Amino acid sequence: MNLELIDAKVPEIQGAVLVLPAFEVKKGSNDLQSSGLDEVDRVSGGLVRELYRTGEFKGKALEALLLHRVYGLHTPRLLLIGCGEREKLTPALLGKLAGTAVRTLKQKSLMDATLYLDALMAEEGNVAEIASGAVAGDFEVHHLKTQEKDDKIFAQFRIAMDGGAAMLQGAMQKGKILGEAQNYARDLANMPGNLLPPRELVEKAKELARQTAVQVDILYRSRMEELGMGALLAVAQGSEEPPFLVHMVYEPDSVTSPIHLGLIGKAVTFDSGGISIKPSDGMEKMKYDMAGGAAVLGAMRAIAALRPNMRISSFVPIVENMPSGKAMRPGDILKSLSGKTIEVLNTDAEGRLILADAITYAKQQGCTHLVDAATLTGAIAVALGYEHVGLFSNNDAFSAQISEAAKAAGERFWPMPLDDEYKEYLKSDFADIANIGGRWGGACTAAKFLEEFAGDTPWAHLDIAGTAWLENPKPYMPKGPTGVAVKTFVELAVRMAHRS
């Protein structure tokens, strides 16, 4: 997609489609609350107010109405997209609006649009989110189809305003970088296990490192055995695919910050559950059990482009969890890199095992702050549905920073409890800790397990199991992987670098 930011008045805009954000109008009011809508209404002889009056358009959030040959406009089509109440407008909603515009028009084979922002909307955060949302809205999941494949790419998306475009070019470029990073992560998470096994995901990481200003170190099985990563290796031992730990380092030219941020992402390229095998219904979606790792790789791609002045490392443990005569068994006791022993009560609680060793290794590499993202528990979807990421942390100040970054990135996080009592659920008679804590509070006990390996290092865990995959399409996003956490990771890195 080609993105462009231009100065133009509404009647001057050309191209295939003019897109206008439109607000709900209070009953009995004649105020459209938008100079762009006012101008279209004026040149068209009152068309916009007539649409509101008749109820053909109400301005509800993401409601879309495509009009043809509106008098007084140079564009042959006008697309109105609802924003709800003006007082509740956020950059995140404008990003969804841009994605809705792209997807609505693509369905009609229209690949050229200009979205106009009035003076009150033409600001940095809004422009960045619009650019990001437009790029993300262009993502499709059907690239492996050979018949009836619609591979059209949206050609041109402009953001127009009545003056000041030159001042916001940087915001548009940032949004484009974020949208492309999110789509990169979604592409990885959408690949099936036979096409993206661990060895192929490692090649993707190497390719990313070659294309960006990051260094990469790949830990193979032999090195992990030397180090003593018994938890990570145990998960992989049932598969013919070898395990890996991808360690990437972004380092600016001159490091002035004492902070070393570590991003950690679970990457189980396919999760059968192992000996504690999952039900077959829905198992095909377990190709996205590496969405946390994909988010970390996508974030590193964007970080390398935005170049915050802070050292940032990423750690992606990559395995396949399969049942076989070599697979780990319930009852096995593993010795982790930290030295702690772990009793395996369920082999389908494998993500926390590979993360435990990755967290310990990240600490050994000097990271001062850690954040992991993982499709860790179905319990988080029971608790929060498919709407929020569960945020767990051992440090209130760090948790607040992550929440602020998520809000700025347009992603919804919800703080979850991590009380000491949850450790009681993980008691083992035979090892230092068990890998599950029973039926109740599953998301909390999983996070408590990880906290044992984070220790005193400021750390946060993002359980994205309920938000990494969209089962039903949205107006701005197709069914499939969402790329959640990519934008928050990047926003957190940029903010931490700026503050330090």
The catalytic site residues sit at: 278, 352
Give residue for tokens 């570590």: 262
64-68 and 77-82 strand pairing:
antiparallel
Distance, in Å, from the CA atom of 8 to the CA atom of 426, rounded to the nearest integer, reads 62
For 225-254, the DSSP string reads HHHT-HHHHHHHTTSSSPPEEEEEEE--SS
8 Å CB contact between 94 and 121 = yes
In total, the chain counts a number of residues equal to: 500
**Which residues, 6 or more positions from 26, have their beta carbon under 8 angstroms from its beta carbon?**
none
> 396-409 vs 486-499: helix axis angle to the nearest 10?
120
**How far apart, in Å, are the Cα atoms of 429 and each of 46, 95, 244, 333?**
77, 51, 31, 11
Which tokens belong to 345? 């009560």
Which contiguous run of DSSP H or E holds residue 135? helix 124-137
Paired with 231 in beta bridges are none
8 Å CB contact between 389 and 486 = no
Output the CA torsion sign for 370, 211, 486, 481.
negative
> 291-306 vs 198-211: helix axis angle to the nearest 10?
10
Alpha helices in 365-441 (DSSP H): 379-384, 396-409
